[in-house]
Amino acid sequence: MRQLCFRLVRFLVVCLPLPTKLRDILMWPITSRLLGLDYSTIIERPGGYKIKVDLKDQLNRILLFYGRNVKYLWEPQTTKVAQMLIANATHSVVAGSHIGYINLELLSSLAPDARIYTFEPAGYLYERSKENIALNQAGDRIKLFHAALSDRVGETAIYVEDLRTSIVPYSAAHTVNDRVERVPTLTLGTLKSQENIPRLDFLFLDVEGFEYQILTGAKDVLMTDKPTIIFEVSEKILRATKITADMLYTWLRERGYSLFVIDDNYELDNVTDWDDRPVKIAQV
């Protein structure tokens, strides 16, 4: 009976133009009550892969509701750009992997001899990412590390909360209700040496405010390899690091990079409308 009720809820969310507040009520408290917080299931994606999802955070719920039918649903334009760029890359890095979603989205665009090296420091996300990579028999093309990229080799703390994990403690949940895990850290230079990578071609960084540390720790790699980079900038998170977006932009420009912003669906509105939209980028 609860599964039947959930299917009705999913139909309402996916098929009707609901107000955002009503959609969120249906996707969060109503769905949590119907399915239970320990619920998980495997869905098949239009991209031809399978992924196990649960109710832990927003990405999982978006996949649970829309993932069977909508090809581009989470940062759709960024995903399209990443697929175009990785098609010409032999050695790529994705940090962080989360549940493996972006790695699996990129897999179909990967050349036969190409490889992704992906990092996920949070323990429960690492285990789910590992499970999803294995589910698609992609372990020979996607190598997963339970570690964080950084500007030094060693160890760091990662703050784990219900909706988001981060090395940067930028929210009250990180400082009041935090669960801290200790994880090893690597630099991109160490990764290259350890894995005998001749050249890094593409970097995809979704690291919750830790971009500056990763990039400055890889300045030699950036100068020699000139990898194309996609990274996320959150002014809210950066404030906790005492680093501004302008500092990051200036540092990259000084090393010969041109910067562009991707016009994307960061508010997760009208998810079903983004599959066929052309990508828009503008120079910063």
**pTM greater than the 0.85 cutoff:** yes
How far is residue 216 CA from its own chain's centroid? 21
Q: What is the mean pLDDT of residues 145-149?
A: 98
Q: What is the DSSP letter of 151?
A: S
- 240: phi then psi, degrees, rounded to nearest 5: -75, -15
Q: Compute the residue count for the chain.
A: 284
Task: Work out the widest C-alpha separation in the chain, in whole angstroms.
Answer: 60
The counts of H helices and E strands in the chain are: 13, 13
Q: What is the DSSP letter of 168?
A: S
Q: What is the mean pLDDT of residues 160-179?
A: 71
Are 228 and 203 a contacting pair, CB within 8 Å?
A: yes
Q: What is the pLDDT of residues 128-139, one digit of tens each?
A: 999 999 999 999
Q: Is residue 190 scored above 90 in pLDDT? A: yes
Are 205 and 229 a contacting pair, CB within 8 Å?
A: yes
Question: What pLDDT sits at residue 55?
Answer: 96
Which residue, chain included where needed, has tokens 């992704």?
116
Q: What is the pLDDT of residues 205-255, one digit of tens each?
A: 999 889 999 999 999 999 999 999 999 988 777 777 788 899 999 999 999
Q: What is the pLDDT of residues 193-214, one digit of tens each?
A: 999 999 999 999 999 889 999 9
